Amino acid sequence: MNHKVSRCGYIAIVGRPNVGKSTLLNRILGQKISITANKPQTTRHQILGIKTEGNCQYIYVDTPGLHRNAKKAMNRYMNKAAISVIRDVDIIVFMVEAGKWTEEDEYVAGMLRDRDTPLIVVVNKIDMLKNKQRLLPYLDMLRQQLGDVEIIPASAFDGVQVDVIEKAIADRLPEQEAMFPEEYVTDRSERFVAAEIIREKLVRNLQQELPYATTVEVEGYKLRDGVLHIDAIIWVERKSQKGIVIGKGGATLRLIGKQARKELEHACDCRVYLQLWVKVKEGWSDNERILKSFGYSE
C-alpha cells in the first residue's frame, strides 16, 4: 500500500544529442518508454515518464538533444521542445559524457547557468572512460563551468549510481500532492508508443542520414479477438529513400516489421498483427504544416 504522495515534481533530463538521456529514463522507470539508438537525435518529442514510489511522484521529461545550428523545421521544433521544458520544471538533470566537453555541451550549460532551478549534473558512460585518472580533472572542470552543483558519475546503461541520482532528485522534490494516478508510467498514448517502437527499429537498421528523413504514423490500432492489429505508414522524403527502407525484395522492411512486432508483443502483452507501408511526402521534415499533421506540435 502506497503512503499518500507528499512530494511531487517535474524533472527535465537535458543534454546534447546522444549522451544517454533516454537510457537513463528507461533505467529509472524499469521499462522502456523512450526509444534509444546509438545515433544522435533519436528522441524527437518531450516524453513524460512517471514513477510513484513511497511518498514521492517523479515526473520525468525526456527531451530531444539540444544542438546549436538548427537548420530544418524539425530541428527547430526539437530545440524549442527542449528549451521550453527547461523553463517549466522543478529540477534539471544535465547529462554529459565522461571525459568529453563539446561546443554543444557548452551551449546547454550556457542555458542552465543563471537559473534558480535546482541542478544535478550526471556524468554518464563512466564505464567507457578508458583512463580513469581523467575523471577527477574532468569533474573539476565541470565545477568551474557550473559552480557549486551536485555531480554524480554514473553509467545509465549498466545502472551504476542510478539509485544515487534518484536519491538526489527525491531530496529536491517540492512538497505537493501527486499529479498522476499511481499506476501511470507515461502520459503518451499506446498509439504514440507503437509508432516510436517502429521508428526505433528504422533508426537502428538504416545507416547514416536516412533515419532523419523518416517518421511513422499509426493509422489503425484495434484489438480484435485477442490480437492487436496495427497499421502504420513509414513516411520518407524522397522516392529513392522508399527503395532503401523496403530493401532488396522487401528484406529490410520485413526485418523492421519483425523486430517491431516482437517488441510490441512484449510491450502490449498480446499477439500483434503489424502491417507497414512506405510512402513518400516530399520534404516533410522542413515543412511546419506537415510536421504538425504528424504530431510534432507545441
Residue 42 has pLDDT above 70, yes or no: no
Q: Do 54 and 92 lie in a common domain?
A: yes
Instruction: Tell me the percentage of the chain whose pLDDT exceeds 70.
Output: 83
Task: Name 152's Cβ contacts closer than 8 Å, sequence gap at least 6.
Answer: 120, 121, 122, 123, 161, 164, 165, 168
Q: What is the distance between the alpha carbons of residues 172 and 125, in angstroms, rounded to a whole number? A: 24
* Top-confidence residue, 71 or 279: 279
Q: Do 208 and 135 lie in a common domain?
A: no
Q: Do 156 and 227 lie in a common domain?
A: no
Q: Do 119 and 21 lie in a common domain?
A: yes
Mean pLDDT of 51-79: 76
Cell readout for 83 is 528549451
Structural domain contains residue 180: no
* pLDDT-wise least confident of 62-76, 80-94, 139-153, 277-291: 62-76
CATH number at residue 113: 3.40.50.300
Q: Do 194 and 160 lie in a common domain?
A: no
**Can you tell me whether residue 14 is helix, strand or coil?**
strand
Q: State pLDDT tens for residues 20-32.
A: 888 898 889 876 6
Q: Do 225 and 262 lie in a common domain?
A: yes
pLDDT at 2: 47
Q: What is the distance between the alpha carbons of residues 23 and 266, in angstroms, rounded to a whole number? A: 18
Domain boundary among 172, 199, 219: 172
Number of independent structural domains in the chain: 2
Judged on CB neighbours under 10 Å (0-12, 13-18, 19+), 162 is middle
Q: Do 26 and 86 lie in a common domain?
A: yes
CATH number at residue 225: 3.30.300.20
Q: What is the distance between the alpha carbons of residues 186 and 54, in angstroms, rounded to a whole number? A: 18
Please report which confidence band the pLDDT of residue 91 belongs to, taking 50, 70 and 90 as the band edges: very high
Structural domain contains residue 111: yes
Please report which confidence band the pLDDT of residue 1 belongs to, taking 50, 70 and 90 as the band edges: very low
Domain boundary among 172, 201, 228: 172
Q: What is the distance between the alpha carbons of residues 64 and 16, in angstroms, rounded to a whole number? A: 8
Domain boundary among 141, 172, 203: 172
Cell readout for 271 is 499477439
Mean pLDDT of 131-141: 90
Structural domain contains residue 184: no
Structural domain contains residue 181: no
* Top-confidence residue, 166 or 2: 166
Nearest one of 154, 152, 169 to 57, comparing CA atoms: 169
Residue 12 has pLDDT above 70, yes or no: yes
Nearest one of 28, 108, 37 to 61, comparing CA atoms: 28
Over the chain, what is the mean pLDDT? 83
Q: Do 223 and 88 lie in a common domain?
A: no
Q: Do 28 and 102 lie in a common domain?
A: yes
Q: Do 250 and 161 lie in a common domain?
A: no
Q: In what helix (H) or strand (E) does residue 273 lie, and over which residues does it extend?
A: strand 271-280
Task: Name 75's Cβ contacts closer than 8 Å, sequence gap at least 6.
Answer: 41, 67
Q: Do 13 and 145 lie in a common domain?
A: yes
* pLDDT-wise least confident of 29-33, 97-101, 189-193: 29-33
Q: Do 11 and 156 lie in a common domain?
A: yes
Q: Residue 135 is part of which domain span? A: 7-172
Structural domain contains residue 139: yes
User: SS in 3 state form for 194-258?
Assistant: HHHHHHHHHHHHCCCCHHHHCEEEEEEEEEECCEEEEEEEEEECCHHHHHHHHCHHHHHHHHHHH
pLDDT at 298: 53
Residue 40 has pLDDT above 50, yes or no: no
Cβ atoms within 10 Å of 150's Cβ, excluding its own: 14
Structural domain contains residue 2: no
Residues 180/57, Cβ–Cβ less than 8 Å: yes
